[in-house]
Amino acid sequence: MKYDVIIVGAGPAGASTALALKNTNLKVALIDKQQFPRDKACGDAIPGQTFIALAKLNPKYAEAIKSFKKKQSIKKTLFVNWNGKSTSKTWKHFTYNSTRTDFDAELLKLALEENKKIDFLPETKIKQVSYVAEGISCLTDKKNELTAGLIIGCDGAHSIVKKELLKTKTDLKIEMNCTAVRQYYTGLKHTKSEQNEVYLTKKYPSGYFWIFPLKNDISNVGFGIENNSGVNVRAAFEELLKSDKVLAPLFKNATPLGRVIGAPLPLGGSDNQIIGNRFLLCGDAASLVAPISGSGIDNAVYSGIMAAKQVNSCFKQARFDSDVMKPYQDEVHGTLTKTMRSNKTKMKIITMYPWLMNWLIGILHRFKFGN
């Protein structure tokens, strides 16, 4: 099959790119190895900037995703230190929690409803990407060959587009990349429906533990930490649930649902190369997860929208070389990366002096900030 554009990955980055390509006459394939709805390891906290990004594209898109039913509205986050002292931050932007199974399927549904020209190919894994005379060739697990003038890698932290065309993989072991795990729980009696909870722990002070409530007495519970801490994240998560003096009592009568799943978080804040001859990378494939918070859905959406603008420009100029792709990379670095750079510095300080955050929460608690 011959396309103008192939988007690999139909998560938030891929779905947003497809949505933003609505008013073009381009023949676009949106490919995902999974069928939707599909699960994805995540805290399920949809950042407020996600809706702001969608509203910039078209206010109607933000409204559609905001009014989605399968959500738990969130107004504030409680930060608890390892002595059990807490403070909270009220969010000024609209935000909610929703399982990625539901949220990603809804965003994809919106993209496919709005952009009817998209050829969506679920359960199709891209196994190989290479340059051919007509542009880019993708070989699928079904042994089909798809070709296009341009390819967009929205295929997450282990991006095959990045690996095959940039000839490099994201080194998820290097400093400042993280791994996190999550599991659903029911019966957490202490939770408040519109409040997320973030916990520091004495044993693993450079990571954080979260409890994010969903609908129907279910909470998303997880733990993430920097990879070069050398900590086995899953083992640490289970240990904290059993023996942390602040957390363990909360889980005494709670029941786990399903299994613990985890994934890496490729953190942003560096001017990485995210373009090349006939390709662009977005979302996790471009390492755009925010340091400290670990949120990446908003930047996946922002970068998808920016990528669609670049695609239009490429086809208008009939040029697909890396020089012509530069405005996309400059826009990502000048906006998303720029914001994340200062967070990266703060994260370095926090990891070097983990007691600082613990102390700060204690002070804010004492002066009753946000309690």
Ligand X SMILES: Cc1cc2nc3c(=O)[nH]c(=O)nc-3n(C[C@H](O)[C@H](O)[C@H](O)COP(=O)(O)OP(=O)(O)OC[C@H]3O[C@@H](n4cnc5c(N)ncnc54)[C@H](O)[C@@H]3O)c2cc1C
- What residue ranges bind ligand X (CB under 6 A)? 8-14, 31-34, 40-45, 47, 125-126, 154-156, 160, 180-182, 222, 262-263, 265, 283-285, 289, 294-297, 300
Q: CB 58 → ligand X: shortest distance, Å?
A: 19
Cα–Cα separations (whole angstroms), residue 270 to 162, 166, 344 = 16, 16, 9
Residue 216 in 3-state DSSP? coil
Q: CB neighbours of 258 closer than 8 A, spacing ≥ 6?
A: 183, 184
Residue 151, strand partner residues: 6, 279
Angle at CA 265, nearest 5°, toward 297 and 209? 90
For ligand X, the closer CB: 149 or 266: 266
DSSP string, 239-250: HHHHH-TTTGGG
CB half-sphere exposure, 185, CA atoms < 13 A: 23
Q: Beta-carbon neighbour count of residue 257 at 10 Å?
A: 13
Give the 3-state DSSP-derived string for 144-196, with helices as H, strands as E and coil as C.
Answer: CEEEECEEEECCCCCCHHHHHHHCCCCCCCCCCCEEEEEEEEECCCCCCCCEE
d(CA 89, CA 128): 45
